[in-house]
Amino acid sequence: MKKKLIVTIIILTGLGLIGWQIYQKASAARKGLKGERRNVPVAVEVVPIKKASIREVGSFTGSLYPLSEFIMAPKIAGRLEKLLVHIGDTVKGGQLVAVLDDDEYLQQVIQAKAELEVARANLQERRSTIENAKREYERTKALRKKKIASESQLDAAESEFKTQQAKLKVATAQISQKEAELKMAKVRLSYAQIKVTENNSNGYKVVGERFVDEGAMLAPNTPIVTILDIEKLIAAIHVIGRDYPKIKPGMEAVISTDAFPGRTFTGKVVRIAPFLKEKSREARVEIEIPNVQKLLKPGMFARVHIQFDEHDNATVVPVAALVKRNGSQGVFVVDPQEQKARFIPVTVGIVNGIQAEVLNPVITGAVVTLGHHLLEDGASIILPGKKPDDGAQRKGRKHNVKGSESNKGEDKS
């Protein structure tokens, strides 16, 4: 057993030594390749660093909505006798759009008027009766003072007078009751005529949708047509938390739609939701758009661009020039004399998708925009339209010769 254990240990030790030698050779080969890559110039594309104005613009999508929208519906049940508007018709406040069969409600008005006349006649009768009762009471009262009428006769006359006073009050109250019933009957009759609501808006109102046809039996609150105010439209967008603090009421927005390619419309931010929805982490923002020519319609898809900020005479580089090395964001600035690229960490300001603003440090010259994934700080480069540096070529050739000699030595071993 001891001999087997010793043999096993010897074999494992030999395998470990062989593995270590293989690892050293592989590491040396990798170092040689890295050194070779560093010394080989990289062909790159460069763009000059500019001084220009740069804007920060937020791009959003949303939908267009009418300034107001409401549904015309009856308050009473009945048969739709006339429908006076169609889809797309313009309407005004107070305009008649539909008429229900009003025979029943007209009869209620006639009946209420008749009952009111009866109540007025009854009131007149009560007034006449109370005058007689008052005179009788005054006469009995005078006779009682002369000891001609008895006390019971005076009490009876007084009681009759008070009874007629009470009946007069009842008759007067009945007048008010019948007048109220007549007004209610007239209101119900007016419900048979459905008119556009008169409000403070003097916008351009149109019929958006028609739900029923003439002859239909309608229950209360059955939709008949929708009325849209499209003098102005509302573009509703939803913004995430990153952009939410940047948007303020009164900001100008540029709106475009697929319906009018190449054409833009302007609007202003009028309302911002005071909270972000928990599920989407977005807040609703409403933009009011004048629609004088009536080109825009509710329901259209809208692209909205809002300018958050603008810096003049800023140092700008293409976004493609920004890279990261060792956790730092920066750019490769070109040294045209030595044909090398120097990595410079930068602080970025406005980024608009095409260009990026460099706040600091101050940089000039040109930056690498293509090929920087192969570069390290101080790497040799080949500029467009120029040949690689001869010294770099010689270094590269020497390194290749050394590499080949080392390879030969390895082969001999």
Residue pair 119/175 in contact (Cβ under 8 Å)? The answer is: yes
Tokens representing residue 27 in the block:
């590491």
Question: φ, ψ for residue 329 (rounded to 5)?
Answer: -90, 135
Residue pair 83/96 in contact (Cβ under 8 Å)? The answer is: no
pTM for this entry = 0.66
267 SS3 class = strand
Tokens representing residue 343 in the block:
């990595």
First to last CA, the chain: 38
Nearest CA to 99 out of 216, 19, 5 is that of 216
CATH number of 74-101+192-223: 2.40.50.100
CA separation for the pair 20, 28 (Å, rounded)? 12
CATH number of 39-51+313-412: 2.40.420.20
CA separation for the pair 247, 262 (Å, rounded)? 25
Domain boundaries, the chain: 39-51+313-412, 74-101+192-223, 103-189, 231-310
CA separation for the pair 157, 140 (Å, rounded)? 7
Residue pair 55/325 in contact (Cβ under 8 Å)? The answer is: no
Provide the residue-wise pLDDT of the chain in tens; the chain has 413 residues: 566 666 677 776 767 767 766 767 666 656 555 554 456 888 899 999 999 999 988 999 999 999 999 999 999 999 999 999 999 999 998 899 999 998 888 999 999 999 999 988 888 888 888 888 888 878 887 887 877 878 888 788 888 888 888 888 888 899 999 999 999 999 999 999 999 987 666 778 999 999 999 999 999 999 999 999 999 999 999 999 999 999 999 999 999 999 999 999 999 999 999 999 999 999 999 999 999 999 999 999 999 999 998 899 999 999 999 999 988 999 999 998 888 999 999 999 998 878 999 999 999 999 999 988 888 888 898 888 666 554 444 444 444 434 444 444 444 43
Residue pair 231/213 in contact (Cβ under 8 Å)? The answer is: no
Adjacent-strand bridge partners of 380: 340
pLDDT of 4 = 65
pLDDT of 5 = 66
- For 245: left if phi > 0, alpha if psi spans -120 to 50, otherwise beta; the answer is alpha
CA–CA distances in Å: residue 333 to residues 215, 362, 363, 380, 395: 80, 11, 8, 12, 23
User: In the chain, how long is the greatest CA-to-CA distance?
Assistant: 166
pLDDT of 114 = 93
CATH of 231-310, one of 3.50.50.60, 3.40.50.1370, 2.40.30.170, 3.40.50.720: 2.40.30.170
